[in-house]
Structure 1
Amino acid sequence: MKNKPELTSFDLHLLAMGLMLCDHICLALMPDRLWMTCAGRLAFPIFAFLVAEGFVRTRSRARYARRLLVFALVSEVPFDLLAAGRPVYPFHQNVLWTFLIALGCMQLLEWAKADSRPAARLVVSAGTVLVGFLAGTAFMVDYFGPGVWTVLVFYFFRGDGWRQRLGQLLCLLFLNGWLLGGPSLTAALGPLMLVLPIQAFAVLALPFIWLYRGRQGPHGRAVRWLFYGFYPAHLLVLAAAAAFAN
């Protein structure tokens, strides 16, 4: 029997990093390469899935949150330099803040699940989901409220059954095809004009995510710091390259 194709957590990290780099190179140096932007849309859902998976599997959620906080702080100036061309830009925060808000939401949802009262579980869970969206939007983190919800989608629909996959698909279509909006591609099909939001390409991340079967792959402290350090490092390098090019 042939082995089924599989991607480990390590593989997904590398794939998401490559797609993110492609997207950010386009942003910084090649804004006319639309295909790079489309490919880059796949990165965020993969990272969001890995955050939800990491939350469930980590041995210490407190340490996990502290690492995210440290690198969110470290990454903010490089992010602002790339996104706005200045070291401080309060109107858009890097994606690690999005993940931190989602992490807090998932912890609240875990506490809600432990409550023996169904009504209390429902109220706390619904309130957490709403507050997560509002916090992501109010603090202007990357991908805003829909970005926080993307992580929660993979928390609520965790697993590889058809119901979980259908839930992931429908939610990502809703979040990326409608809520996030943004520029669109148009194409004429006879008398019809088709409009496809570029952000909707994010849904194409799902087939890669579905190849994950719970295996971590190469791991350890060096690998972990490589993954965390890549984010601020590549932002800083691209910001410098963009400044030099201009």
Structure 2
Amino acid sequence: MNANQLKLFMMGLMVLDHIASFIPPELSLIFHVITRCVGVFFAYMAVEGVKYTRNFYRYNARLYVWAIIMMTGNTILNNLLNNPKTMLYNNIFLTLAVGVTLLGVTKKLKETIPFVMKGLLLVTLIVLLLVGSMFTEGGLVILPFMLITFLTQNHKTLCNRLYLILSLLLFFMNFQWLGELGTTLQMLAYNSDFLFITVLPFIALYNGERGSQSLFFKYLFYFFYPAHLWLIAIIANFIQ
């Protein structure tokens, strides 16, 4: 499957994860679990974008611009609706923008530059990774995932092993025995970031081709992501 086909499928899954206001909690929890692959898939596509873009800085800037658009739209809508139950904080654009910046710093680090500059870049990389992991949506998963993907582009086996290590690390960070199996599994379903590894079959399906290069497909995700969240929040507000 090409990138556009997989993105369309992932956008469908994305909607399932955001309609919790309209469905029973049990079903919402199932959707939450099966959609842990969505964010990291778009992160994988961002790494592909870095690989093939003609202008890295323009590509990165576009993500930051859309992050600002998303943040502005969220703020306006939250103030208009003034409903704590439908407050929007999602902004995957910011996470991807920070991730792409991380990759740019990493690329510079790999180049032959003065030792002092390497030290500054390494500090920058660590700060971006730590701060981004704490303050961006899904950053704790997406930023290390992007770094692993970028650094192991020609080493698939190593890449998958590092994905597995990251998944296990996230699992043990979230695991807590709550006295019974059912309650513990429910807790893990809510805290299921470790299931990002379910993205691997979709990466395997990716044939390396972009698909149609029309403006429609180029900007579809940029428009769809905020639009569907804003629409869901508006509908949920009136229903409630």
One fold, TM greater than 0.5? yes
When residues 57 and 30 of structure 1 are mapped into structure 2, their CA distance, relative to the original with a 3 A threshold, is: same
Does structure 2 conserve the Cα–Cα contact (< 8 Å) formed by 1:75 and 1:232? yes
Does structure 2 conserve the Cα–Cα contact (< 8 Å) formed by 1:49 and 1:151? yes
**2:105 aligns to what?**
108
Which structure's relative contact order is higher, taking Cα pairs within 8 Å and 6+ residues apart? 2
Q: Give the secondary structure class of the aligned counterpart of 1:208.
A: helix
TM-score, normalised via structure 2 length: 0.80
CA RMSD, 1 decimal:
3.4
Deviations 1:47-90, CA, capped at 9 Å, x for gaps: 111111111111111221222122112212454658xx6599x9
Q: Does residue 202 in structure 1 map to residue 196 in structure 2? A: yes
Which is richer in strand? 1
Deviations 1:165-209, CA, capped at 9 Å, x for gaps: 2223322443x4245x499999749xxx77844223221111111
Shift of 1:108: 1.0
| Partner Cα distance (2:218, 2:177) in 1 | 36
Report the more deviating stretch, 36-45 or 161-170. 161-170
1:50-199 to structure 2, matched below 5 A, reads 50-79=45-74, 81=77, 86=82, 92=89, 94-115=91-112, 121=118, 123=119, 126-137=122-133, 140-159=135-154, 161-174=156-169, 176-179=170-173, 181=174, 188=181, 196=188, 197-199=191-193
Does structure 2 conserve the Cα–Cα contact (< 8 Å) formed by 1:72 and 1:97? yes
1:10-89 to structure 2, matched below 5 A, reads 10-26=4-20, 28-30=21-23, 32=25, 33=27, 34-79=29-74, 81=77, 86=82
For structure 2, the residue ranges without an aligned partner over 5 or more in a row are: none
**1:227 aligns to what?**
221
Which is richer in helix? 2
For structure 1, the residue ranges without an aligned partner over 5 or more in a row are: 1-6
Q: Which amino acid aligns with 2:126?
A: L
Q: Which amino acid aligns with 1:135?
A: V
Q: Which amino acid aligns with 2:130?
A: L
When residues 39 and 79 of structure 1 are mapped into structure 2, their CA distance, relative to the original with a 3 A threshold, is: farther
Aligned pairs, how many? 230
When residues 151 and 184 of structure 1 are mapped into structure 2, their CA distance, relative to the original with a 3 A threshold, is: farther
Q: Which amino acid aligns with 1:41?
A: R
TM-score, normalised via structure 1 length: 0.78
Shift of 1:141: 1.6
Does structure 1 conserve the Cα–Cα contact (< 8 Å) formed by 2:40 and 2:196? yes
